[in-house]
Amino acid sequence: MKLLFVADPLDHFKVYKDSTYAMMRAAERRGHRLWACEPQDLSWAGGVVRALAREVRLLPLTPAEEHAPKPAWFELGSPQALDLTAVDAVLMRKDPPFDQDYLYATYLLELAERAGARVYNRPQALRDFNEKLAIARFPQFTVPTLVTSQEAAIRAFLAEQGDIVVKPLNAMGGTAVFRLRRGDANIGVTCEVLTRHGQTAVMAQRYIPEISAGDKRVLVIDGAPVPYVLARIPAPGETRGNLAAGGRGEARPLTPHDREIAQTVGPVLKAAGILLAGLDVIGDWLTEVNVTSPTCFREITDQTGFDVAAMFMDALERKVAEG
């Protein structure tokens, strides 16, 4: 197959833990050709969506070399204007924030899809499943939650719950996630900053004490869960388990309740055209549905031996074969 990865700059990848890199390695082992571009390389003219893309050749790396600050892991061919319908699959792997530029990229990808390109995850699904708000589709698995731009509503929610987490709707990696308790001296400034003085909606959720045991990432591929989760355990003094915020990743088997959540959410995601998602579960509660660029492939594989990237490639190859 000929695969186009729409992603962040390749030289920014931390390859020892990057899931897109793991996908590329798995695809290369199967003889697939790899191309890459960034969202700003997409264009539409004459009714055709093209990407100014380069073919990617992967270079061998030892485990020690993977941990180098800037490992030389790829070589790029000359830029070429690729019609997206001429590749077998387009994989949208750009990290959030889901900002205006990201939105425009989904529109272009959707135009390509209408012309016959295969895009994963589907552009419409990337728009429909806001990673925070998507939990509203599954209220049986969620803690008390509020979405609002109004400080008074957040204060009332805090008074009712006693201990909450407040976070933006478009970020990732634990960015700008705040914990507030009754009587906290920073309630006002936190609300002002996150809501931009009442102009931007945010999410508030009841604090889940089980975060101390880890914020579990449950990967769902083509509607089916990976049999292991990555529990991201907060660093001392932190309330966020995100690896980007200093959390420690520990792979564990799915619990029966993790599986119940995944088997409920998975078919909904599959029907929407989401080939890969990462469910965030704290204790028994679903807190996010990540669909933009879910990660944790490497950590689960390295700790358990289960090849997550191979499971993903199996699913991708099936999708392409099905047409």
Catalytic residues: 132, 167, 217, 232, 240, 280, 288, 290
Distance of CA 3 to the CA centre of its chain: 19
Dihedral pair phi/psi, residue 203, rounded to 5°: -110, 135
Q: How far apart are CA 158 and CA 286, in angstroms?
A: 20
Q: What does the alpha-carbon distance between residue 167 and residue 135 come to, in Å, rounded to a whole number?
A: 14
All residues at 6 or more sequence positions from 202 whose CB lies less than 8 Å from its CB, including other chains: 147, 148, 149, 154, 166, 167, 168, 169, 194, 195
Q: How far apart are CA 98 and CA 75, in angstroms?
A: 29
Selection from 99, 150, 93 nearest residue 121 by Cα: 93
Structure token pair of residue 228: 């292991």
Half-sphere CA count of 319, side-chain side, radius 13 A: 26
Q: Which two tokens stand for residue 302?
A: 């390295």
Residue type at 147? V
What's the angle, vertex CA 263, arms to CA 257 and CA 265, rounded to 5? Answer: 100
Please name the residues in contact with 57: beta carbons below 8 A apart, sequence gap of 6 or more: 34, 74, 75, 76, 77
Q: How many CB atoms lie within 10 A of CB 236?
A: 5
What token pair was written down for 219?
């990967």
Residue at 304: amino acid letter: T
Say which DSSP state 109 is in.
H
Q: State the Cα angle at 121 between 296 and 283, rounded to 5°.
A: 40
